[in-house]
Structure 1
Amino acid sequence: MDKQRVRVEPPRGIDHDIAGRGDVGVARMMSWCAAPWRKASLPLLDARPVQLINMKERSPDRVDTEDLQAVISAVLTGSRLLVAIAARSLAAVQDQVTLPQFRMLVVLSAHGETKLVTMADALAVNSSTASRMADRLASAGLIVREVNPHNRRETLMRLTPEGQRLVDDVSTRRSEEIAGIVSRLTPMEAQALIAAMTAFNRAGGEPPATMRHPLGWPDQ
């Protein structure tokens, strides 16, 4: 025998709750359907499972505001950890170089011999600032400055063995601390981290770091 079709009208205002209040509205609807006085009519309905659909449309190509805030929060938290790791890795050499001076050493480690004007551009400082930094590093025996034999108006810089050793020591300490943290992840979490950081670096225009130059200053 065919099932009798019964139109069940929800209480006034419940459709507004479902559309405007999300899970709260759904909960009220479910509570209303389960009321004792309603049970007699429910068997007459076609009670197949119903899939609840989120009425909030999401673009597959764009992060919505709520998810964006969650991503920003996670990245900021991670950046605090990475900054702390960087600071600790430099602690042993802080009596030799400042952070900006260390950045200059890293650029030279990545590029090899570099013009002063190119270095200033890489560090986003003016040439006079870069020149003063280079003077201090040269005095400390960490770099060599000399006139470009092909253009005497240009100054070239390169690392000394001591300067390269300093960069390698800091890089090793940083890598070891990161390895200690990553080792506490599950294999699935580690793969997810690789995928997330690769996507984040790609979105920010940062090329992948090589094992030789893992400190974040890419080759030009």
Structure 2
Amino acid sequence: MAEAVEPGVVVAALAKSVEHALLRVELTLPQYRMLSVLTVEEPPTASRVAWMLSVMPATVTAVMDGLVAGRYVRRERDPHDRRKVTLVITSEGRHLLATANEEINRRLGELASLLDAEQAERAMAALSLWHEALAGEKQAEWAAREGARRKESR
């Protein structure tokens, strides 16, 4: 029977492994996270990205500046509210993200090759389940936040 490990140790090791894969495409983990968010919901504002990633808006601005300079993201005025600036991933950004995902998948495949087939399948299924749980949590948080805003505006 396998010895139980601290989840934090596993998460930290996986994060480090992903960071190494991202280095192959010259992308940092914060840049990767922001590009990924921009494909989920377009076009978000910097404050929405900050909320989705649980970081400070200043962090988003700093990372986005680099992504804009690299032409992976562009800032656009919201056509419905000119006070808002939205963040739009470019085709170059989508290509970089796809390449990064390939590197991450390759790295996870290397790790999975150290397991038997059933274990590898279970490990990948577990990642999908964690994704579902995290996405559900964020949706619930956003719904609660929007409900509170509506109440305040009454």
CA RMSD in angstroms comes to 3.1
CA contact (8 A) 2:24 2:103 kept: no
**Conservation of the 8 A alpha-carbon contact between 1:86 and 1:174:** yes
Q: Quick check: 1:149 aligned with 2:83?
A: no
**Whole-angstrom CA distance in 2 between matches of 1:200 and 1:83:** 17
Structure 1 pair 74–189 and aligned structure 2 pair: CA distance change class (3 A): farther
Q: CA deviation at 1:134?
A: 2.1
User: TM-score by structure 1 length?
Assistant: 0.52
Q: TM-score under structure 2 normalisation?
A: 0.70
Q: Which residue matches 2:149?
A: none
Alignment coverage as a number of residue pairs: 137
| Among candidates 89, 100, 113, match of residue 21 of structure 2 | 89
Q: Distance in 2 between matches of 1:90 and 1:116?
A: 23
Please state how far the C-alpha of 1:136 moved relative to its aligned partner. 2.5
> Gaps spanning 5+ residues in structure 1: where?
1-69, 209-216
Partner SS state of residue 145, structure 1: strand
Give how far 1:92 is off.
2.2
Say if 1:116 and 1:154, in contact at 8 Å, map to a contact too. no
Partner in structure 2 of residue 130 of structure 1:
60
Distance change (3 Å), C-alpha of 1:206 and 1:128: closer
Q: Pick from 109, 121, 133: which aligns with 1:205?
A: 133
Q: Is the 8 A contact 1:143 1:163 kept in 2?
A: yes
CA distance in structure 1 between the aligned counterparts of 2:34 and 2:96, rounded to whole angstroms: 12
Q: Larger Cα Rg: Structure 1 or Structure 2?
A: 1
Identity, % of aligned positions: 23
Summarize the Cα distance change of 1:193–1:74 in structure 2 as closer, same or farther, 3 Å threshold.
farther
Q: More relative contact order in 1 or in 2 (CA 8 Å, sep 6+)?
A: 2
Against the structure 1 CA distance between its residues 194 and 163, is the aligned structure 2 distance closer, same or farther, given a 3 Å change threshold? closer
Contact kept in structure 1, 2:49 and 2:60, CA below 8 Å:
yes
Question: How far does residue 88 in structure 1 lie from its aligned partner after superposition?
Answer: 1.4
